[in-house]
């Protein structure tokens, strides 16, 4: 049953009261209008905002966040790094900023600068490194809001937010306070005990309508520095398999490297001081996936090739990593660029749709350039709205991995049955 914090919205595509498109949580925001306006003004000059999340502690999330921020800074970007791990801030140690004190100018807090990168962490406010922060939720929410609203971040290309593990107060507060974030970078290790919790983190993002930019599989195999032999200490491939099942992008594997630990302990960012190693190249590949096209330095004609003959965009609504049998139940869309003539998939991406309301999804998918939708079931009214926008709808497909479904469609082998949502 909806409570006081929910807002009912009808997607108009089915009559199932359990559909998550009909009842959707209303994100909480700062109650004070003045505070909210001040927060919006502070965030406005920041072009991109990326949250680094994980459902499990000890997976190297802060290591990924720090090296991501440093990589962006070395690429000429104006970068801010915000450490909101209230109980275990590690960013000051990783950047050799321990003991640094903060300054204030007027009513604004001045972040610590290292090169061209601005850094903020609760660690800068502790009198001693070993001091414990014993706070309940409201205090955490308040300090995170202060870090975002009162810190003079200035104009930034990227703000990277290092959140603590799990789906508790800190990541929830950040998601509620930062509007229009680019999305979350999810970090995991390959073993099942980590992957299980990271699945929850992805579902957390979906419930808050925060796009998942991709999954990084950290500590994926140990490369012996002497002989080069690879040993899968924590298994390998678990994060990649999970990403495929959850229909989110997989950004790459980062091997276990003793020099990463040395770099963190000495406060020397790994990707800068060990840039010629294979592990650093893996880090760089992950960062390349996250860079926006407008941030890249290559000429425009090299960034985006001309559309190929026969190119079509096919969208598959998914829930739980598989095709959603009811269109109105979908959690996100996997959109494929395909060559209809060569019967091949050229590219795929996961996209978070706007709230399911009448007429919204047809318009949104048309703006994405989608020409075909493959669904398990879809109401006749929704089909009519897609037809008005010249989008072909294929219904009656059986649930399964989105890529397999699209490949079967291209090959003319897609088996379809009854439209399970024909009303």
Whether 306 is in a domain gets the answer no
Check whether residue 169 and residue 81 sit in a common domain. Answer: yes
Same domain, 377 and 316: yes
Domain boundary residue, one of 234, 260, 295? 295
User: For the purposes of burial, counting CB atoms within 10 Å of the CB of 214, is it exposed (0-12), middle (13-18) or buried (19 or more)?
Assistant: buried
Quote the domain boundaries for residue 26: 20-295
What's the pLDDT score for residue 369? Answer: 84
Q: What percent of the residues of the chain are helix, what percent strand, and what percent coil, each to the nearest 5?
A: 35, 25, 40
Report if residue 138 sits inside a domain: yes
pLDDT at site 265: 61
pLDDT at 20: 41
Residue 222's DSSP bridge partners are: 231, 256
Residue 1 lies in a domain: no
113 and 209: one domain?
yes
pLDDT of residue 146: 86
- 274 plus 322 within the same structural domain: no
Predicted confidence at residue 359, as pLDDT, reads 76
- Whether the CB-CB separation of 202 and 175 falls below 8 Å is answered with no
Residues 83 and 148 reside in one and the same domain:
yes
Q: Are residues 261 and 372 in the same domain?
A: no
Q: What is the pTM of this model?
A: 0.60
Choosing from 295, 320, 354, the residue where a domain stops is 295
CATH number at residue 158: 3.40.50.300
Q: Are residues 239 and 360 in the same domain?
A: no
Residue 330 lies in a domain: yes
CATH number at residue 365: 3.30.420.130
Q: Are residues 131 and 188 in the same domain?
A: yes
- Contact call for residues 346 and 356 (beta carbons, < 8 A): no
Domain's final residue, options 295, 325, 341: 295
Which pLDDT belongs to residue 34? 77
User: Is 11 part of any domain?
Assistant: no
User: pLDDT digits over 24-44, tens only?
Assistant: 344 444 445 677 788 888 899
Domain membership flag for residue 5: no
215 and 355 part of one domain: no
Let me know whether 76 and 189 are in one domain.
yes
The reply to whether 188 and 234 lie within a common domain is yes
pLDDT at 422: 53
**Total number of domains in the chain:** 2
- Which residues of the chain fall below pLDDT 50? 1-13, 15-31, 293-310
Quick one: 267 and 324 in the same domain?
no
Domain assignment present for residue 276? The answer is yes
For residue range 304-335, what is the model confidence (pLDDT) as tens digits?
333 344 468 899 999 888 888 888 778 889 99
pLDDT of residue 293: 40
Give the residues across from 119 on adjacent strands. Answer: 81, 112
- Quick check: is 13 in a domain? no
Q: In terms of C-beta distances under 8 Å and separation of at least 24 residues, what long-range contacts does 42-45 make, across chains too?
A: 42/148, 42/149, 42/150, 42/151, 42/153, 43/148, 43/178, 43/179, 45/153, 45/154, 45/155, 45/156
């Amino acid at each position: 049953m909806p409570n006081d914090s929910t807002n009912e919205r009808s997607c108009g595509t089915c009559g199932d009261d359990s559909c998550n498109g009909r009842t959707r949580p209303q994100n909480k925001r700062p109650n004070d209008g003045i505070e909210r306006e001040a927060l919006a003004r502070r965030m406005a000059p920041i072009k991109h905002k990326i949250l680094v999340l994980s459902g499990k502690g000890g997976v190297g999330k802060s290591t990924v966040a720090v090296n991501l921020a440093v990589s962006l800074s070395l690429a000429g970007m104006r970068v801010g790094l915000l450490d909101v791990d209230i109980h275990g801030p590690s960013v000051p140690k990783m950047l050799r900023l321990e003991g640094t004190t903060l300054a204030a100018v007027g009513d604004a807090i001045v972040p610590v600068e290292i090169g061209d990168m601005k850094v903020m962490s609760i660690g800068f406010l502790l009198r001693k490194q070993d001091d414990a922060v014993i706070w309940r939720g409201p205090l955490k929410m308040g300090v995170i809001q202060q870090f975002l609203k009162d810190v003079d971040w200035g104009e930034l290309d990227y703000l990277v937010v290092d959140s603590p593990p799990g789906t508790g107060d800190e990541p929830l507060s950040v998601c509620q306070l930062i509007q229009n974030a680019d999305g979350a970078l999810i970090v995991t290790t390959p073993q099942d005990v980590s992957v299980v919790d990271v699945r929850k983190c992805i579902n957390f993002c979906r419930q808050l309508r925060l796009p998942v930019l991709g999954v990084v599989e950290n500590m994926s195999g140990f490369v012996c520095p002497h002989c080069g032999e690879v040993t899968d200490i924590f298994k390998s491939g678990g994060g990649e398999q999970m990403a495929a099942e959850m229909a989110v992008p997989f950004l790459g594997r980062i091997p276990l490297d003793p020099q990463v630990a040395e770099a963190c302990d000495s406060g020397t960012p790994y990707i800068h001081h060990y840039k010629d190693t294979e592990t650093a190249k893996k880090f760089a590949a992950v960062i390349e996936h996250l860079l926006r096209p407008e941030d890249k330095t290559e000429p425009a004609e090299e960034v985006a090739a001309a559309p190929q003959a026969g190119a079509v965009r096919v969208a598959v609504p998914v829930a739980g990593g598989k095709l959603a049998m009811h269109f109105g139940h979908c959690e996100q869309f996997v959109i494929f660029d395909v060559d209809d003539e060569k019967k091949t998939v050229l590219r795929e991406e996961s996209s978070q749709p706007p709230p399911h309301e009448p007429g919204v999804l047809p318009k949104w998918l048309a703006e994405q350039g989608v020409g075909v939708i493959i669904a398990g079931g879809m109401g006749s009214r929704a089909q009519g709205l897609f037809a008005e926008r010249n989008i072909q709808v294929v219904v009656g497909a059986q649930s399964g991995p989105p890529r397999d479904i699209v490949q079967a469609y291209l090959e003319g082998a897609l088996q379809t049955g009854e439209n399970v949502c024909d009303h």
